[in-house]
Structure 1
Amino acid sequence: MVEESMPSVQELKGVMYLDPSWFDIINIPDEKNKGLPIKSWISFKPFCQKGHHGFMSHLGKKYPPESTNTDEFQVQSYGPHHLTVTFNNTNEMRFVGTKDVFASIHHSNVTHMDISKGGIGVSLGKEGKKSVFRIWECSTGIIRRELDGHCGYGYSVRLFPSGIVIITSGGDMVLNIWSAETGKSHRTLKGHTAGVNDTAIVGIGKNVVSVSNDSTIRLWNCGSGLCLDVISKIDDVPIICEINDYIFNCNSHNLKERKEGEHDTENKLLVVGCEKGLIVGVNIFDRAVVFQNKIDSGIKDIKFNGENGILVGCENDSLHKYSLNSLNGEMSLQLERVWLDSESSIESLLVVSDGVFVGRRDGSCIWYSENHDVGIKRISLVGADADPIYSLAKDDQYIYTGARDGKIRKYLLSHIFKS
């Protein structure tokens, strides 16, 4: 196992924040805006330094917004759905407003969410002391079904590739497989001895993998509900997992025949992020741990980035970028970069268009990119008023965010990446 030491951190100088009411204000017709000009706050928070604060004034739809109270903030471009601002002629941020807000799907804490290509969303939220899984229409936010079957708190929810089957997990130690069309549970997977934190779907979905507070990683057959194998037991509590296709060139120590009921597990790499900072890579078919790294922070989310990249979001506010390497038959993670420009814990990640959206505990949701062909390296989705962004999802047209305030916000991709 590699014990990771922090490299010289490549710091972006800080984070810019905009009053979440800005886009609501500027889209009110002038005849209804009796108090023009209207001021909204803007701030720039350098990492581990005192913040800089100013105001943006909306003078009316016919006039450009103006920075008042300070000349540190300069407006570069603006529109009904975006505002691009620089701080001291650097640190450019493009702010983007919501296209729609679904406020009635959940009461609070939208901790997990997934979106199908067929226009259906599924999410996990809270109502009082109860967790609630709900299916809803992406176009309207209308609730279609409620998935009622777990005892206690729910922990995760995912859609299968078909878009009509759902898997959930919870503190009751089980996984449930549901029909999105009827809302009925067709299979309950039992075998874990503690809460099931996350799941990942193998191939088209005949098998799934789960990670649990009992420190095990298990492989299941969805048709029979049987646990096919305990893939690994690790020295940490696995919190989050993801699967990606990967052609293994490293030596296999556990090569075996496929078990009955096992499908599409060849060339599948599972990465697991853990409570105390362990990152584990597993060759699912071989049941072999192919790499382990340890970082000095709990892991909140982990995502594949292309064929050979992995992004890790941490409790200590940092975002780590790794590349997968294979040398002399051994796999390893190579740390390429650490972003550390915020003092707020990362809660969620979403890879989009040569970059990654990072949802944080302070309510910010910012897109980072290293692509030099991209004009703007950072974009902020505005809307949550200091409510943590617990979940992120997307379809072909929209980005969706789920926050502590219970609201699911939609952002149009064409607003995000175009003027």
Structure 2
Amino acid sequence: MSPLSTTVPLFSIQPTYLDVLADVQSGKIQKDSFYISCFVSDKSVHGTVDVYRSGSEVVLRGHGGFDVQVGNRKLTLTASCPELNVSNVLIKSPKSQISAHSTKRIETFDISPQGELYVVGGPNGEVSLSSIADGGAITRSLDGHLTYITKVLFFPSGQVVLSASGDMQIKLWSTADGSNPRTFLGHKRAVTDLAMIGRGRNFLSASKDGTVKLWECGSGSLIHSFTNPLGIPVEPTTMAVSKRHDGISAAPSSPLEFETDDKLVTIGYDNGDIAIYGLSTKNVLASIPTKSVDSEISNIDVVDDRIFVARGKNSEIWDLRSITVPLETINLPSPVVGIGASTANSFAFATQTGTPVVFENHKVSYYVAGFGDSTVIGVKNRSPSDGIYFAGKNGSIKQY
């Protein structure tokens, strides 16, 4: 079977377009407009949409090559750009929004598995924990890092949080009282990513020092350091843990390991290399060297046996179910800044240019509006019932 290859267009739409529609609908103003753009490969079209009333109806009229209509469901639009062969795409607005009051800018975020809390990390070492139910009021500040936060991550229980920083430290926090019972030291440069294993008795950390380290939480012990199998000086940028789909299970190499016997870790590097290891055996199962310049691996996420990898400035998302070659490649006109998978056939991604995209069953399901260009820093796609969360650098977290 030949690999699938899909070229996905991107849209950019004025974040305040709903305000424009509401102002015209209420009669506050008679006519207004908002901007809209479409990008496909190296081509782009930029236009505007006039909004005015005709009787009791709000009418939209596109200019510059766009046809835009109010969708059948509330807070949605359908847009077409015939010049780029894009027709009838769905654009949704957020169901809810939270503002991170603790900092005007965030670098990373996570939502608890129970959907009750969220945690954000800022550019000056700030980590704050908040409740979703009260609109983002600060529950507590988690103070201790010295510089920018690179990753925050809830444990599956939702009762513990990990944070990583450019200060080379990894800190474990209690969500109950904000205490920091353990700090993990061992990296020699900034920590770039964290990944949980099973229920969290073990976790992994990636660093610009060239290593991915396996830790045991209870004792704080370092169990193993993974290095690039090609033996070249590169920096791991991102990683993810998944179950082995080959049915192989091997006993852990250390009594401090838990739930590693049937797991893989996929590691992406700043030069575009990808390495896949058996967690319990520490053996490299696949090493995929870069084949082009500007191919840094920016994000990896997994669900079931699918490994989604985003690479390159001319961005691609790979489905690496076969481990060594992609079974599907999604081609985008802008680098990916976040991926979140919820089921084997559904994942969301955000790019540097344009609105985030929800991709299902090998095609775009819908685009999400509400963000300006170059603001989205992450995606959490928890479940179809709970929705998808996108976070922007300006501290806004929106649920769709």
Which residue of 2 is the match for residue 195 of structure 1?
A: 190
Q: Please state if 1:217 is matched with 2:207.
A: no
1:245-289: CA deviation from partner (whole Å, max 9, x where unpaired)? 214457x9xx76541221111011111111110111110100111
CA positional deviation for 1:76:
7.1
Over the matched positions of the two proteins, sequence identity in percent amounts to 21
Change over 3 Å in CA distance of 1:60–1:22 after alignment to 2: farther
Change over 3 Å in CA distance of 1:50–1:233 after alignment to 2: closer
Change over 3 Å in CA distance of 1:228–1:70 after alignment to 2: closer
Letter in 1 for 2:242: N
Quick check: 44-53 or 279-288, which moved more? 44-53
CA positional deviation for 1:177:
0.8
Q: Please state if 1:345 is matched with 2:335.
A: yes
Question: Secondary structure at 2:394's aligned position in 1?
Answer: coil
- C-alpha separation in 1, matches of 2:70 and 2:370: 21
Which residue of 1 is the match for residue 235 of structure 2?
A: 237
Aligned residues: 385
Question: Secondary structure at 2:57's aligned position in 1?
Answer: coil
- C-alpha separation in 2, matches of 1:273 and 1:120: 29
CA positional deviation for 1:300:
0.9
Quick check: 152-161 or 39-48, which moved more? 39-48
Alignment partner of 2:119 out of 122, 125, 128? 122
Which residue of 1 is the match for residue 63 of structure 2?
A: 69
Change over 3 Å in CA distance of 1:107–1:60 after alignment to 2: farther
Q: Please state if 1:398 is matched with 2:396.
A: no
- C-alpha separation in 2, matches of 1:63 and 1:311: 43
Letter in 2 for 1:84: T
> In 2, are the aligned partners of 1:299 and 1:312 still within 8 Å (CA)?
yes
Change over 3 Å in CA distance of 1:62–1:377 after alignment to 2: farther
Change over 3 Å in CA distance of 1:41–1:27 after alignment to 2: same
- C-alpha separation in 1, matches of 2:117 and 2:25: 36
> In 2, are the aligned partners of 1:322 and 1:333 still within 8 Å (CA)?
no
- C-alpha separation in 2, matches of 1:47 and 1:181: 48
Equivalence map 1:125-274=2 (5 Å):
125-126=122-123, 130-139=124-133, 140-234=135-229, 235=232, 236-248=234-246, 258-274=253-269
> In 2, are the aligned partners of 1:363 and 1:389 still within 8 Å (CA)?
no
> In 2, are the aligned partners of 1:114 and 1:157 still within 8 Å (CA)?
yes
Letter in 1 for 2:347: V
Alignment partner of 2:347 out of 344, 356, 370? 356
> In 1, are the aligned partners of 2:45 and 2:64 still within 8 Å (CA)?
no
- C-alpha separation in 2, matches of 1:30 and 1:57: 9
CA positional deviation for 1:16:
2.8
1:38-94: CA deviation from partner (whole Å, max 9, x where unpaired)? 222223233212424231424289425322435641437344311122222743321
Letter in 2 for 1:223: G
CA positional deviation for 1:208:
0.8
- C-alpha separation in 2, matches of 1:350 and 1:222: 26
Which residue of 1 is the match for residue 357 of structure 2?
A: 366
Question: Secondary structure at 2:325's aligned position in 1?
Answer: strand
Change over 3 Å in CA distance of 1:87–1:156 after alignment to 2: same
- C-alpha separation in 2, matches of 1:299 and 1:20: 29
- C-alpha separation in 2, matches of 1:59 and 1:265: 61
Q: Please state if 1:384 is matched with 2:378.
A: no
Which residue of 2 is the match for residue 324 of structure 1?
A: 321
CA positional deviation for 1:95:
1.0
Which residue of 2 is the match for residue 335 of structure 1?
A: 326
- C-alpha separation in 2, matches of 1:392 and 1:378: 16
1:181-202: CA deviation from partner (whole Å, max 9, x where unpaired)? 1111111111122221111111
TM-score with structure 1 setting the length: 0.84
Question: Secondary structure at 2:170's aligned position in 1?
Answer: strand
CA positional deviation for 1:403:
1.3
- C-alpha separation in 2, matches of 1:356 and 1:44: 21
CA positional deviation for 1:409:
1.9
- C-alpha separation in 2, matches of 1:121 and 1:52: 36
Question: Secondary structure at 2:321's aligned position in 1?
Answer: strand
- C-alpha separation in 2, matches of 1:113 and 1:246: 27
- C-alpha separation in 1, matches of 2:217 and 2:55: 55
Q: Please state if 1:113 is matched with 2:103.
A: no
CA positional deviation for 1:227:
0.5
Equivalence map 1:2-13=2 (5 Å):
10-12=6-8
Question: Secondary structure at 1:384's aligned position in 2?
Answer: coil
CA positional deviation for 1:388:
2.6
- C-alpha separation in 1, matches of 2:22 and 2:13: 16
Which residue of 1 is the match for residue 19 of structure 2?
A: 24
Quick check: 94-103 or 211-220, which moved more? 94-103
CA positional deviation for 1:220:
0.8
Question: Secondary structure at 2:326's aligned position in 1?
Answer: strand
Question: Secondary structure at 1:335's aligned position in 2?
Answer: coil
> In 2, are the aligned partners of 1:16 and 1:93 still within 8 Å (CA)?
no
- C-alpha separation in 1, matches of 2:37 and 2:206: 40
- C-alpha separation in 1, matches of 2:310 and 2:55: 39
Which residue of 1 is the match for residue 299 of structure 2?
A: 301
- C-alpha separation in 2, matches of 1:28 and 1:79: 19
Structure 2 residues without counterparts, runs of 5 or longer: none
Letter in 2 for 1:346: V
Change over 3 Å in CA distance of 1:131–1:28 after alignment to 2: farther
1:197-229: CA deviation from partner (whole Å, max 9, x where unpaired)? 111111111111111111112111101111122
TM-score with structure 2 setting the length: 0.87
Change over 3 Å in CA distance of 1:207–1:68 after alignment to 2: closer
> In 1, are the aligned partners of 2:319 and 2:329 still within 8 Å (CA)?
no
